Amino acid sequence: MIVYNFGSINIDHVYRVPHFVRPGETMTSNAYQQVLGGKGANQSIALARANCDVKHIGAIEKSDTRLLTTLQDFGVDTSFVNLSDTPTGHAIIQVNDEAENAIVLFAGANHQISESQIDDVLAQASRDDWVLLQNETNNIELIIERAKHYGLSVVFNPAPMDVNTVKPLIDNIDLLIVNEVEAMDLCQVDTIEEAQTTLQQRYPQLKIILTLGRQGVRYIYKNEVIEVAAFNVEAIDTTAAGDTFIGYCLAGLQLSLPIEDVLRQACAASAICVTQTGASSAIPTVAQVKAFLA
């Protein structure tokens, strides 16, 4: 079973700051890193770290092939990543003293996924394979359409959230993974409980994983709600925590583990991630997750 991840590959510029920069303010950062990032790349690395077979589909500027080497070193298959004349996507990330982050994205080559690339990839997939999507690439509607044509399951993490783009796609999704802010934005309500009720009513056949930060996570399917608490750790950097959760979650689902075990494993991986700085470099191995849970 393979996960085909149509995802972003970014160069992350990470700045440690006392607080997020305010309008009109100039601030000196405490530290700076330039690292591989992008929700897509982070999720592919998390899948590979969780011992899942993952093929990444995307695009980078042809002078940045070192990014592919990094992905390959983590165990990600990059044979479907195209080289482009368009600059590689990048992100400007502020990480404050509370370990929260604020991110500005530039799409760049992430929006160069072509129709022919989509068909070439999905024509090779088997019916028990999955397609994973975020909202940092182009042609998402077409990818979903072609995935369903080939009988593949589609997992969608619609971040960054754009309600007008995302809402028409939900009926063709098998598993939706959203955080509390994304869920409230999607449903245009003010509380997470309202969002959960709205999602259940509007999409009764949709499987939903709702991440709630320090409050844990909920799995929602029809009238079933399963909740797992988050682990209490001292957070240093939350940049790749959600992507780590998603990678380990999908790996657990592919192994057909009980949903409580899937969510607990994913929460553990995410908890380990936030105790370290960086994005991809902070994603733990299976051995680290097992040791944490022991």
pLDDT (0 to 100) of residue 147 = 97
| pLDDT at residue 103, rounded to an integer | 86
Q: What is the DSSP letter of 72?
A: H
Structural domains for the chain:
2-9+38-88+109-293 (3.40.1190.20)
pTM for the structure as a whole: 0.92
Tokens for 76, please give them: 């990600």
Catalytic residue, chosen from 119, 129, 243, 261, is 243
- Strand locations in 7-86 (E): 10-16, 31-37, 53-61, 77-84
For the chain, state the CA radius of gyration.
Answer: 18
Give 36-70 pLDDT, tens digit per residue: 999 999 999 999 999 999 999 999 999 999 999 99
Query: Which among 227, 265, 218 is positioned nearest to 49, based on CA atoms?
Result: 265
Which candidate, 273, 266, 143, places its Cα nearest to that of 216?
266
Q: Give the tokens for residue 17.
A: 């700051």
State mean pLDDT over 144-169: 95
Q: How confident is the model at residue 139 (pLDDT cuts 50, 70, 90)?
A: very high
Q: Are strands 224-228 and 217-221 parallel, antiparallel or unpaired?
A: antiparallel
Report pLDDT for 289. Answer: 97
What residue has token string 């990048």?
A: 90
Nearest to 11 by CA among 28, 36, 30: 36
User: What's the distance, CA 279 to chain centroid?
Assistant: 12
Q: What is the C-alpha separation between 227 and 238, in angstroms, rounded?
A: 21
Provide the pLDDT for residue 293. Answer: 95
Give 67-98 pLDDT, tens digit per residue. 999 999 999 999 999 999 999 999 898 989 98
CA nearest neighbour of 170 among 204, 120, 195, 137: 204
Quick one: pLDDT band at residue 262, thresholds 50, 70, 90? very high
How far is 15 from 33, CA to CA, in rounded Å? 7
Judge whether residue 16 has pLDDT over 90.
yes
DSSP-derived pairing of the beta strands 130-133 and 153-156: parallel
Say which DSSP state 283 is in: P
104-117: pLDDT as tens digits: 989 999 999 999 99
Give the sign of the dihedral formed by CA 276, CA 278, CA 283, CA 287.
negative
Return the percent helix, strand and coil in the chain, to nearest 5: 40, 25, 35
pLDDT per position as a tens digit, 214-253 = 899 999 998 899 999 999 999 888 888 999 999 999 999 9
pLDDT at 202 over 90: yes
For residue 161, what are the contacts with CB-CB under 8 A and spacing of at least 6? Answer: 135, 178, 181, 182, 185, 186
Q: Find residue 102's DSSP bridge partners.
A: 94
Q: State whether residue 160 is helix, strand or coil.
A: coil
CA dihedral angle for residue 238, residue 242, residue 248, residue 253, rounded to 10 degrees: 160
User: Catalytic annotation on 243?
Assistant: yes
Counting beta carbons within 10 angstroms of the beta carbon of residue 127, is it exposed (0 to 12), middle (13 to 18) or buried (19 or more)?
exposed
Q: Rounded mean pLDDT of the chain?
A: 94
Task: Give, in order, the Cα–Cα distances in Å from 17 to each of 205, 211, 239, 242.
Answer: 43, 26, 14, 21
Residue 278, pLDDT above cutoff 80: no
Residues 183-195, mean pLDDT to the nearest whole number: 95
